[in-house]
């Protein structure tokens, strides 16, 4: 069975330290991470696309080349004359990583500024995947354009999946974040939160409370990740809990949730089997967190 998986969001330039004052350039971002893993998890008959906005400069071109080389379709990406891509730098001090961002004027913030192009990209996708970060970076009017376009794509048959990925610093306020994330959940077939975020920013006392809250908002199914604890899969009349296999040597949890989502969706879109989908998500995330970095090419030993 063929299909199209389309992730929507922001890919950034990553500058990662390689020594005293030297950095290696790479590309990363939550939805990009999920698209990158989804490409590896989905059958070759599926197209994995990414929708964002970039500039027309050299580094934007390098980003698109990286995506193409990863097997990701970027034919719909919006290219803007007057912007370039966002960037973040990782710095190390006494073994601790800190991040500095240059993204407030990034091209990706304009990804919903051309509704016709957004609509063309979303229409025809079988699964549209986005996150709370996708929403956070949009101006308010463009967020509404994005929601309207999602509604139309759903009417045309697309399924939608959303990771709230709550990052209050990217939003105008925590209240606006909670309201927009709740509205987005109501437009989604699948909501895939990480309980740690939901506890911190919605005050949920358990993963079941998070699942109930997103179901009440209108989500079709909620998959609550919770680090090494059980994954809860809830639909209005049905709830299951699955225990991920223990991981002894956790090195770096970057992209645990992003990779889980990709492998879960890769399995779910092809088999529809929830238990097998959680197992695939937990297996990939469990491997990713035993390596450094967001994009771990672990498919030989996954």
Specify whether 258 is catalytic: yes
Question: What x/- string results for residues 39 through 78 when contact with ligand AMP is judged by CB under 6 A?
Answer: ----------------------------------------
Size of residue set near ligand AMP by CB under 6 A: 17
Nearest-CA neighbor of 254 among 184, 170, 191, 165? 165
23: which 2 tokens? 């950095």
Residue with tokens 């199209």: 4
Q: How far is the CB of 99 from ligand AMP (least distance, A)?
A: 17
Among 196, 241, 229, 193, smallest CA distance to 213 is for: 193
* Token pair of 287 as six digits: 């491997």
* Residue 213 interacting with ligand AMP (CB under 6 A): no
Residue 230 DSSP label: P
Catalytic site residue from 258, 273, 297, 301? 258
DSSP assignment, residue 207? Answer: H
Query: Minimal distance in Å, beta carbon 256 to ligand AMP?
Result: 4
For residue 107, give the nearest of 142, 137, 62 by alpha carbon. 137
Q: Stretches 27-35, 52-60, 112-120, 249-257: which one binds ligand AMP (CB under 6 A)?
A: 249-257
**Cβ nearer to ligand AMP, comparing 211 with 231:** 231
- Positions in 273-292 near ligand AMP (CB under 6 A): 282, 285-286, 289
**Token digits for 123?**
């229409």
Q: C-beta of 22: minimal distance to ligand AMP in Å?
A: 31
3-state secondary structure of 39: helix
φ, ψ (nearest 5 deg) of residue 2: -95, 160
Q: Applying CB under 6 A, does 253 fall inside the site for ligand AMP? A: yes
Where on the chain is the footprint of ligand AMP (CB under 6 A)?
194, 225-228, 231, 244, 247, 250, 253, 256-257, 260, 282, 285-286, 289
């Amino acid at each position: 069975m063929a299909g199209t998986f389309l992730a929507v969001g922001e890919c950034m330039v990553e500058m990662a330290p390689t020594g005293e004052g030297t950095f290696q350039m790479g590309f990363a971002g939550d939805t990009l991470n999920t698209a990158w893993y989804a490409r590896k998890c989905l059958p070759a008959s599926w197209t994995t696309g990414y929708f964002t906005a970039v500039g027309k400069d050299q580094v934007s071109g390098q980003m698109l080349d990286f995506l193409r080389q990863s097997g990701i379709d970027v034919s719909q990406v919006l290219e803007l004359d007057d912007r370039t891509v966002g960037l973040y730098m990782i710095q190390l001090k006494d073994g601790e990583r800190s991040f500095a961002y240059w993204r407030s004027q990034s091209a990706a913030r304009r990804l919903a500024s051309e509704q016709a192009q957004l609509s063309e990209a979303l229409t025809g996708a079988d699964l549209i995947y986005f996150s709370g970060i996708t929403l956070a970076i949009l101006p308010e009017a463009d967020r509404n354009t994005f929601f309207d376009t999602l509604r139309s794509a759903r009417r045309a048959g697309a399924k939608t999946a959303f990771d709230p990925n709550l990052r209050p610093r990217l939003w105008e306020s925590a209240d606006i974040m909670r309201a927009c994330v709740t509205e987005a959940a109501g437009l989604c077939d699948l909501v895939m939160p990480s309980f740690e975020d939901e506890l911190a920013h919605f005050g949920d006392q358990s993963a079941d409370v998070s699942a109930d809250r997103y179901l009440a908002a209108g989500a079709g199914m909620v998959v609550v990740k919770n680090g090494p604890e059980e994954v809860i899969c809830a639909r209005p009349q049905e709830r299951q809990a699955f225990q991920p296999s223990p991981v002894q040597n956790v090195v770096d949890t970057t992209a645990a949730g992003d990779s889980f989502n990709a492998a879960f969706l890769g399995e779910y879109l092809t088999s529809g089997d929830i238990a097998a989908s959680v197992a695939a998500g937990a297996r990939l995330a469990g491997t990713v967190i035993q390596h450094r970095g967001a994009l771990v090419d672990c498919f030989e030993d996954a």
